[in-house]
């Protein structure tokens, strides 16, 4: 019987197949975000993550018995974080496939396509992260991975990431510090807080920002 994480991997691999992220397959972005979230939350793997080009090797590299109930929803959200924004998959479908925690986290990091104005998108993200602080490590991981690619390719989007970082930094810190115990059914709030703070420090360094 497939676990929710199995379903998440299958869905993400299928929906992102053939797409690119810079010069890389788009699934490379998903894999990098997954690795960052795994590291930030101190989850346990039995071996190194393999290439995300094929779903089966990725599954075989993970110790599902160790983390499936404890952090599986967070890792499923990392795998699926771009699926609703870039494909026709809905949050309800993710909820049915992977559970409410995964769906809530994915929704919190997805900016509605109807909000074209940058200020409105920033405000929407602020409200979403405030409502679901558990999504903060994933949002920071996504920015960290994208900014890293910008450094690699000298992409002009790096300027945008640097410009927007102070606001996102403030929102992220406010959201994670407001996390009540009842909102973290699988991970302790302290684990999420430490993970978020670790990623904030990495982004400060990567984007050359001084608080």
DSSP state of 22: T
CA distance 103 to 90: 9
Helix (H) or strand (E) holding 66: helix 64-67
Instruction: Considering only residues 118 and 183, tell me which one the structure prediction assigns the higher pLDDT.
Output: 118
The whole-number pLDDT of residue 77 equals 94
**What is residue 154's predicted lDDT score, i.e. its pLDDT?**
79
Residue-wise pLDDT for 159-196, tens only, equals 889 999 999 999 998 888 776 655 555 556 667 788 88
Q: Could you give the CA distance from residue 56 to residue 54 in angstroms, rounded to a whole number?
A: 6
Helix and strand element counts for the chain (H, E): 12, 2
Of the candidates 69, 164, 48, 159, the one whose C-alpha atom is nearest the C-alpha of residue 111 is 164
Distance of CA 167 to the CA centre of its chain: 18
Query: Whose structure tokens read 């410009």?
Result: 163
Q: Tell me what pLDDT residue 187 has.
A: 59
How far, in Å, CA of 206 to CA of 147, rounded? 8
Tell me the sheet residues that pair with 24.
21
Q: pLDDT tens across 62-88, in order?
A: 444 445 466 788 889 999 999 999 899
pTM for the predicted model, two decimal places = 0.85
Please, what's the largest Cα pairwise distance for the chain? 49
Q: Which residues pair with 25 in a beta bridge?
A: 20
């Amino acid at each position: 019987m497939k676990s929710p994480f199995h379903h998440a991997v299958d869905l993400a691999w299928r929906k992102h197949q053939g797409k690119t992220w810079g010069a890389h397959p788009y699934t490379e972005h998903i894999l990098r975000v997954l690795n960052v979230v795994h590291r930030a939350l101190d989850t346990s793997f039995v071996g190194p993550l393999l290439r995300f080009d094929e779903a089966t090797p990725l599954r075989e590299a993970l110790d599902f018995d160790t983390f499936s109930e404890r952090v599986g929803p967070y890792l499923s959200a990392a795998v699926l974080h771009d699926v609703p924004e870039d494909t026709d998959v809905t949050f309800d479908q993710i909820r049915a496939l992977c559970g409410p925690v995964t769906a809530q986290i994915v929704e919190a990091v997805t900016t509605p396509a109807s909000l074209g104005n940058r200020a409105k998108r920033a405000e929407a993200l602020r409200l979403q992260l405030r409502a679901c602080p558990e999504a903060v490590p994933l949002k920071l991981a996504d920015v960290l991975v994208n900014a890293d690619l910008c450094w690699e390719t000298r992409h002009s989007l790096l300027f945008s990431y640097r410009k927007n970082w102070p606001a996102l930094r403030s929102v992220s810190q406010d959201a994670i510090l407001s996390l009540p115990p009842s909102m973290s059914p699988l991970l302790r709030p302290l684990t999420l807080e430490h993970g978020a703070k670790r990623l904030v420090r990495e982004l400060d360094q990567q984007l050359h920002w001084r608080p």
